[in-house]
Amino acid sequence: MSEEFLKRHLLSSLLPLLAAEQSPGGTALEAFALLGDAQRSRATDVHLDPEQDGYRIRLRIDGRIVDALRIDAAQGARLVNQFKVLSKLNPVPSLATAEGGFNWSPEESGIREISLRVTAVHCMAGEKLAIRFLAPPQTFDDVVALGIGEEGALGIRRWMDATGSMLLVAGPTGAGKTTTLYTLLGQLQLTDSHVVTLENPVEYSIPGINQIQVDLDHGLDFANGTRSLLRLDPDYVLIGEIRDRESALAALSVTSSGRSLLGTLHSRDAVGVVTSMRQLGLADSEISANLGLIIAQRLVRRLCQHCREQVPPGRRDREWLEAIGQAPPESTWSAKGCAQCDGLGFHGRIGVFEIWQLTPEDHSRILRHADESELRRSLLERGARLMLVDGLAKAEAGITSLREVFRMGAILSA
């Protein structure tokens, strides 16, 4: 993709302002124009990166950084200053990292006010800014729309009908865990269930769900919060992220009381959740007795449906697949880029999943302190569909590209 193409399609509002005379003092026309261009381009983050002789503007679109424009030092400094003033940060450059935020109303009708977080940090070449759009996660009407197959969706529905175990959504930061979790909450909201959450912090409001925020200053930690919410007679409890021993023990207290718990955990795949829980200090007996279902996931970019085309896999692609024991498909898909996708070849993202519904044999293996390789081997022996296989199936179907799956596969095998 050429820089000229990106400039024309991604920064159509900013470019005329940069070419004109400097904006009148006190205005933030360029900052608002850049936000408008980024928002229309579906960017989640805007980066102003200093260089020796100017600034580079980069956008994160569909999870990948896109190099959009280089501007001179004066223009870059003016943009940085505008964003810092909007965020109520001291415009004078500082060696200390600073963080602020503000609300912005796009000019387009029908788009509500958007909250933004601005982080400023001093680099060797100058001051860098990262601006993030704090939009609520997208939710779907059904888990199948996330990219989970019918068999996985059936396992999730079975878990919802049972009681007293954990459903954990696993993956690294930025893998779409919150979107999956909120979609599941949306399903529970439609049932005759009582759902309570304990979060630190509550990031987004969910209509129909009772949300409690951890408040350490007033003595409401995970332990006290869990005791309080169990008195509310919930059917399901959500703990936003199990990140330490305290939140892990809170999760155990919920499932030990006969309630069902949903949460997220950082792990690279499904069986890695057991290792992560062991590292948080939980005993094998506690993990085995409470773990019910794990949804492990990554996000890959969707091929643009307007410019994708079917092509035979290249030699390197075939060699990669053969090296991991997978038969190369007869054909795959790629996209060269068009006006519909701003020349990127991709539009949106979709989840790649593996669902682990624990069996009595799995619980026994955990009690015997089985390691990840033994647990993963047992999944393969019973025909479970791991993330890499799910990704390859989506590539063969033209939903994503082999390159996207290979990128995910390199992470999984690292």
Of the CATH numbers 3.40.50.300, 3.30.1550.10, 3.20.20.150, 1.10.132.20, which one belongs to the domain with range 143-413? 3.40.50.300
| pLDDT for 411 beyond 60 | no
Rounded Cα distance, 307 and 347, in Å: 11
Average pLDDT, rounded, for the chain? 88
Residue 23 has pLDDT above 80, yes or no: no
Taking CA 206 as the corner, what is the angle to CA 165 and CA 143, rounded to the nearest 5 degrees?
A: 55
Is the pLDDT at 392 greater than 60? The verdict is: yes
Whether residue 201 is preceded by a cis peptide bond, meaning omega within 30 degrees of 0, is: yes
pLDDT surpassing 60 at residue 213: yes
How large a percentage of the chain has pLDDT more than 70? 94
For residues 317 and 312, give the distance between their C-alpha atoms in angstroms, rounded to a whole number: 10
Half-sphere exposure of 199 (CA within 13 A, CB side): 21
pLDDT digits (tens, 9 = 90+) for 54-92: 999 999 999 999 999 999 999 999 999 999 999 999 988
Determine the pLDDT at residue 133: 94
Task: Give the residues across from 280 on adjacent strands.
Answer: none
Six token digits for residue 207: 């209509």
> Which has the minimum average pLDDT: 121-125, 133-137, 157-161, 240-244?
133-137
Domain ranges of the chain: 3-133, 143-413
Q: Residue 4 has what pLDDT?
A: 60
Q: Where are the strands (E) in 312-387, listed by range?
A: 332-335, 346-357
Q: Is the pLDDT of residue 414 over 50?
A: no
Interstrand relation of 260-265 and 166-170 (parallel, antiparallel or unpaired): parallel
CA distances from 349 to 106, 295, 296, 401 (A): 24, 17, 16, 12
Residues in a beta bridge with 55: 50, 71
The token pair that represents 407 in the structure block: 């990128």
Distance of alpha carbon 329 from alpha carbon 335, whole angstroms: 17
Residue-wise pLDDT for 153-184, tens only, equals: 999 989 988 878 999 999 998 899 988 988 88
CATH code of domain 3-133: 3.30.450.90
- Is residue 1's pLDDT more than 90? no
| The residue type at 341 | C
* Tokens linked to 339: 């006006």
Q: What pLDDT sits at residue 218?
A: 86
Question: Does pLDDT of 26 surpass 80?
Answer: no
Query: CA 177 to CA 239: how far, in whole Å?
Result: 13
Contact status, residue 188 vs residue 161, Cβ threshold 8 Å: no
DSSP conformation letters of 31-51: HHHHHHHHHHTTEEEEEEEEE
Residue 284 has pLDDT above 50, yes or no: yes
Instruction: Give Cα separations from 20 to 7, 14, 15, 266, 334 (angstroms).
Output: 16, 10, 9, 47, 39
Query: Residue 273: which pLDDT band, with cuts at 50, 70 and 90?
Result: very high
Whether the Cβ atoms of residue 144 and residue 239 lie closer than 8 Å to each other: no
Q: Stretch 38-50: mean pLDDT, rounded?
A: 94
143-413 shares the fold of 3-133: no
pLDDT at 203 over 90: no
Instruction: Indicate the pLDDT class of residue 95, thresholds 50, 70 and 90.
Output: confident
Q: What is the pLDDT of residue 285?
A: 97
Q: What percent of the chain has pLDDT over 90?
A: 56
Asked if pLDDT for residue 53 goes beyond 60, the answer is: yes
Give the pLDDT band of residue 190 (cuts 50, 70, 90).
low
Residue 370 sits at φ, ψ, to 5 deg, of: -65, 145
| Residues 6/58, Cβ–Cβ less than 8 Å | no
